[in-house]
């Protein structure tokens, strides 16, 4: 399998973690989202991913986009170790929290959205940063509320094995830290984050371990 | 089952269609998103849905939020008629297009986002409408590109039975029509939309058939 990836893309980061947790071999093809208007805008990449977003997973002749669709696919073709719980109701809970991140927080901080705010709407840099901080903080507050009150939470978001919520949470915390958001008000989330970051599957998928990482010291520990 | 719903919410609309296609009995509890700052902000509703977004599905004691998580749950507890294809690769394709709508187009046009633009960022009404039109048009263009080029498309988005893509597409087209976006450039999408709107499952889930619909003639045909 080949993964079209960008080191800082949260969606690509999720898929890298899932591939690592499943122990699947894959190559990374970097797609530079910020260079020369973005390599994802090339017609070559658009032929693989019409949304012109990363990631795209190539499995043989098939190409699959949308990180959550890719992860469900990996779960179906390689069921073990499972990233989703066994019961329908718990699977729904895990998927709902994954979507709280992937469909509520992340889309509002996407590069193309921030660019639109700055270049088309011509808002100030401060207004753009306040926008990012607002949606990340609101989303993390809601996650903290849900996870701090649920008996299903263990060492990881669902029990004692890493799964789909953790896969979505960790890249979002990387973003929050990068946006200098105070994470002290999210003790449950940060405990799960710290637990995840002890595992090679998460460490190896993180920003600084990517072949296309820039402006980071590859030998440095994960940003906190 | 009970569905907390708002007539114009695309996410609630998706779940209404899915429940109807599955032939499941359910009651609707309206949550008024625009009245008095929004009924979804009440502490009573927040206890059911910490994200304070609609929909929430109550199934016995369990409450589930996030429309796509609810629909996957319905698919698991009531597999027939299937809303997802049989093979992993086709399931991935269907999920990716559903997410292209639910995680890329829809979050940017959400009520809370448009309110932030107007009230916190203080952009003009014209700038807000241009924002909405931009993301809807870009998203629909990409969907048209994908669906017009794929042999899996039949009378519906995947083959000749309605499924998850159709469930996400129809509410998005309602939004596009309401935003007065010219849909003539999306012939494949509109053909699928028209096909869906011949089915009671879609008609009965639509805006004007909801008990909480406002400012619409309940006897009128679906908006075009």
Per-residue pLDDT reduced to its tens digit, A106-159: 999 999 999 999 999 999 999 999 999 999 999 999 999 999 999 999 999 999
Contact A99 B131 (CB under 8 A): no
In chain B, the residue whose alpha carbon lies closest to the alpha carbon of A56 is B96
For residue A31, give both structure tokens. 């797609």
Which chain A residues have a beta carbon less than 8 Å from that of B96? 64-66, 69-70
For residue B45, give both structure tokens. 């509703």
Closest by CA position to A175, among listed A192, A193, A148 = A193
Tell me the shortest Cα–Cα distance from B219 to chain A, in angstroms: 34
Closest by CA position to A91, among listed A70, A75, A106 = A75
Q: Is the bond leading into B81 cis (omega within 30 degrees of zero)?
A: yes
Q: Enumerate the H helices of chain B as residue ranges.
A: 10-22, 43-48, 67-77, 88-99, 111-115, 125-148, 164-178, 187-196, 200-203
Nearest to B92 among A70, A95, A120 (CB): A70
Nearest to B69 among A51, A92, A127 (CB): A92
Under CATH, what is the fold of the domain A2-77? Glutaredoxin (3.40.30)
**Ramachandran bin of B62, using left for φ above 0, alpha for ψ from -120 to 50, beta for the remaining angles:** beta
For residue A141, give both structure tokens. 């507050």
Closest by CA position to B63, among listed A149, A84, A168 = A149
Please tell me the predicted confidence (pLDDT) of residue A52.
73
Tally of CB atoms within 10 A around A23 = 10
Give the integer Cα–Cα distance in Å for B132 and A178.
Answer: 28
**Ramachandran bin of A214, using left for φ above 0, alpha for ψ from -120 to 50, beta for the remaining angles:** beta
Tell me the shortest Cα–Cα distance from B114 to chain A, in angstroms: 12
Ranges in chain B, pLDDT < 50: 217-224
Per-residue pLDDT reduced to its tens digit, B18-33: 999 999 999 999 988 7
Contact B104 A107 (CB under 8 A): yes
Cα Rg, chain B, nearest whole Å: 17
Give the integer Cα–Cα distance in Å for A194 and A53.
Answer: 29
Query: CATH says B88-209 is which class?
Result: mainly alpha
* ipTM score for this prediction: 0.93
DSSP-assigned letter for residue B103:
I
Give the integer Cα–Cα distance in Å for B118 and B71.
Answer: 32
Q: Is A116 helix (H, G, I), strand (E, B) or coil?
A: helix
Please tell me the predicted confidence (pLDDT) of residue B53.
80
Give the integer Cα–Cα distance in Å for B190 and B140.
Answer: 10
Give the integer Cα–Cα distance in Å for B43 and B218.
Answer: 31
Which chain A residues have a beta carbon less than 8 Å from that of B100? 51, 65-66
Tell me the shortest Cα–Cα distance from B9 to chain A, in angstroms: 15
Give the integer Cα–Cα distance in Å for B43 and A132.
Answer: 25
**For residue B202, what are the contacts with CB-CB under 8 A and spacing of at least 6?**
B17, B20, B162, B166, B170, B196
Which chain A residues have a beta carbon less than 8 Å from that of B64? 89, 92-93, 96
Closest by CA position to B29, among listed B58, B5, B53, B56 = B5
Indicate which of A103, A130, A137, A188 best probes the interface with B, i.e. most B CBs within 10 Å of its own CB: A103
Please tell me the predicted confidence (pLDDT) of residue B50.
72
For residue A90, give both structure tokens. 């718990």
Pairing label, strands B27-30, B2-5: parallel
Interface of B to A at Cβ within 8 Å reads 50-53, 59, 62, 64-66, 68-70, 72-73, 76-77, 88-89, 91-93, 95-96, 98-100, 102-104, 106-108, 113, 116, 120-121, 123, 127, 130-131, 134, 142, 145-146
Per-residue pLDDT reduced to its tens digit, A65-101: 999 999 999 999 999 999 999 999 999 999 999 999 9
Nearest to A50 among B52, B69, B146 (CB): B146
Under CATH, what is the fold of the domain A88-199? Glutathione S-transferase Yfyf (Class Pi); Chain A, domain 2 (1.20.1050)
Nearest to B121 among A100, A106, A127 (CB): A127
For residue B49, give both structure tokens. 């849905």
CB pairs under 8 A between A and B: 123
pLDDT exceeds cutoff 70 at A13: yes
Indicate which of B40, B63, B97, B103 best probes the interface with A, i.e. most A CBs within 10 Å of its own CB: B103
Phi, then psi, of B170 in degrees rounded to 5: -60, -50
Tell me the shortest Cα–Cα distance from A14 to chain B, in angstroms: 15
Average pLDDT, chain B: 92
Give the integer Cα–Cα distance in Å for B162 and B132.
Answer: 27
Instruction: Identify the residue whose tokens are 């998850």.
Output: B164
Per-residue pLDDT reduced to its tens digit, A184-219: 999 999 999 999 999 999 999 999 999 999 876 444
Please tell me the predicted confidence (pLDDT) of residue A223.
44
Which chain A residues have a beta carbon less than 8 Å from that of B71? none
Q: How confident is the model at residue A49 (pLDDT cuts 50, 70, 90)?
A: confident
Q: Where in chain B is the domain with CATH 1.20.1050.10?
A: 88-209
From edge to edge, which strands make up the β-sheet containing B62-65?
Answer: B27-30, B2-5, B56-59, B62-65
Q: Where in chain A is the domain with CATH 1.20.1050.10?
A: 88-199
Q: Where in chain A is the domain with CATH 3.40.30.10?
A: 2-77
Which chain A residues have a beta carbon less than 8 Å from that of B88? 73, 76-77
Please tell me the predicted confidence (pLDDT) of residue A224.
39
In chain A, the residue whose alpha carbon lies closest to the alpha carbon of B139 is A51
Give the integer Cα–Cα distance in Å for B57 and B40.
Answer: 14
Residue burial B101-131, b: 16+ Cβ < 10 Å; e: rest: bbbbbbbbbbbbbbebbeeebebeeebbeeb
**Ramachandran bin of B65, using left for φ above 0, alpha for ψ from -120 to 50, beta for the remaining angles:** beta
The alpha carbon of B196 is separated from its chain's Cα centroid by a whole number of angstroms, namely: 13
Give the integer Cα–Cα distance in Å for B134 and B147.
Answer: 20
Please tell me the predicted confidence (pLDDT) of residue B214.
83
Which chain B residues have a beta carbon less than 8 Å from that of A134? 116, 120
């Amino acid at each position: 399998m080949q993964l079209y990836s960008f080191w800082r893309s949260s969606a690509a980061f999720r898929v890298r973690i899932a591939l690592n947790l499943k122990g699947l071999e894959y190559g990374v093809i970097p797609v530079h989202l910020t260079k020369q208007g973005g390599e994802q805008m090339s017609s070559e990449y658009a032929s693989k991913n019409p949304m012109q977003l990363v990631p795209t997973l190539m499995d043989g002749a098939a190409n699959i986009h949308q990180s959550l669709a890719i992860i469900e696919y990996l779960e179906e073709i390689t069921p073990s170790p499972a990233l989703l719980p066994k019961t329908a109701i718990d699977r729904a809970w895990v998927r709902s929290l994954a979507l709280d991140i992937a469909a509520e927080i992340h889309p509002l901080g996407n590069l193309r959205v921030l660019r639109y705010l700055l270049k088309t709407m011509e808002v100030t840099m401060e207004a753009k940063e306040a926008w990012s901080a607002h949606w990340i903080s609101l989303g993390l507050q809601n996650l903290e509320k849900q996870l701090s009150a649920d008996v299903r939470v263990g060492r990881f978001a669902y029990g004692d094995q890493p799964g789909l919520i953790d896969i979505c949470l960790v890249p979002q915390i990387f973003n929050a830290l990068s946006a200098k958001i105070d994470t002290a008000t999210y003790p449950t989330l940060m405990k799960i984050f710290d637990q995840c970051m002890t595992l090679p599957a998460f460490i190896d998928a993180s920003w600084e371990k990517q072949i296309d990482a820039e402006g980071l010291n590859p030998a440095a520990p994960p940003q906190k």
